[in-house]
Amino acid sequence: MTLFIHKRFIALVAATAIAITGFSSAPARANDDAAAAIAALLGLAVIGAVIADKRKDKRVVVHPNPPVRPLPPRVNRKLLPQQCLRSFQTNDGPRRVFGQRCLNRNYQYARSLPTRCHRQFWTDRGWRAGFGARCLRREGYQLARR
């Protein structure tokens, strides 16, 4: 910032010197009056630049604590309720799925879950339906932590 002020000051001095050179053909008395007027204007310009520079520093407002906003719904949309994760024993081995009925009751976006993750399987208690935990994880869903 100070480099910019120095450049302006040098340019102002150079312009003043060129203007004073043009007055050399006038009488000596007029030349002294013009030089005094230009010097006064130059002094005012420098003082104005310093004041403007000081005010710029005061315009910067820093908030110590930014306002806290709740997370938008789209962030929470991929957090699945922990109580819906179940492990079922099947003929093919254990399956970890999110129960469909539990999701319908406890998860607002159950209808928007990817259909390719929907599973139906046979257990010792009959047919069960749900969404595969691994498949949902690959789709970007996560288990909500309490």
| C-alpha–C-alpha distance, residues 122 and 116, integer Å | 18
pLDDT for 29 equals: 57
Q: What is the pLDDT of residues 42-96, one digit of tens each?
A: 777 777 777 776 666 555 566 666 666 665 666 677 889 999 998 888 778 888 9
pLDDT for 92 equals: 80
The reported pTM is: 0.47
| C-alpha–C-alpha distance, residues 72 and 67, integer Å | 15
**Amino acid identity, position 53:** D
Least Cα distance to 103 among 79, 87, 127 occurs for 79
Q: Are 104 and 110 in contact (CB under 8 A)?
A: yes
| C-alpha–C-alpha distance, residues 70 and 39, integer Å | 60
Q: What is the pLDDT of residues 15-28, one digit of tens each?
A: 666 666 655 555 55
Cα atoms in the Cβ-side hemisphere of radius 13 Å centred on 24: 6
| C-alpha–C-alpha distance, residues 84 and 6, integer Å | 69
What are 145's two structure tokens?
A: 């932590």
What are 117's two structure tokens?
A: 């993750």
Q: Are 88 and 94 in contact (CB under 8 A)?
A: yes
